[in-house]
Structure 1
Amino acid sequence: MMAGIKTRFVTAADLMLQLTAAHRQERLKEYFSRVVMAPGLLVIDEIGYLPFGRDEANLFFNVVAKRYEQGSLILTSNLPFTQWAGTFADDQTLTAAMLDRLLHHAHIVQMTGESYRLKDKRKAGIKSSRAEPARKYEPEGGQN
């Protein structure tokens, strides 16, 4: 809890495992009350790291829909919004409805630059080829 705000942090994959288990045990309403709606701030990390099936996509939509205008939500993703449908069972309609709710009052923070994990490796003397930024290809002699 920071600044008096009850906060919960969970990865999207772990949230899906927990939601699916609660659904199978017919305890979804209790789970939503206790885990999804209880904190003032819910942070869901790694959206798009693993794709969701149709049932999981519907469960995730319900998380967003229930928290919409009821509690703060932070989502992290390496994917642009244009690629989110692929994460949510390729359901364009569900993804559009979810993004509509998410973006309505959103503050979007787009981060660029080197991964802090790779940066720490380089500080320790371990160099990774992934840490080097991509360079634009220039044919010999300048232009084609």
Structure 2
Amino acid sequence: MPFHRPTKWVQYISAAPALSQQAVDQEWSYMDFLEHLLHEEKLARHQRKQAMYTRMAAFPAVKTFEEYDFTFATGAPQKQLQSLRSLSFIERNENIVLLGPSGVGKTHLAIAMGYEAFKIFYDISKISLELYHNIH
């Protein structure tokens, strides 16, 4: 690969000075230094991709399973709700329908599932009920 071509290693440029000093201080080999640089770049790309997916999903707010108060979900066992986090229903091509009265956290769970899905880079999209009715 020619060295004169620009790369997309954004994190490399900002991480290199600090990592090079750390490499000197800790007496890293060249391969250790390169491994750390590549690791920093991989983490930065992963974070940028998650930020992009968050914007594309158009969630009203980021909600996670850790933030969910399971005391509101009196009609569904906590174990069943936690199993949604595994997203195994996606691999089985199953649909999930969240039913319940207002204020029990259906939207929170839906967003949390979407958030979990794009953390492992599933393509997701949010569709409002109004848009769904306009399509059909």
- Give the TM-score of the pair, scaled to structure 2: 0.27
Query: Bigger radius of gyration, 1 or 2?
Result: 2
Higher normalized contact order (CA 8 Å, seq sep 6+, divided by chain length): 2
TM-score, normalised to structure 1's length?
0.26
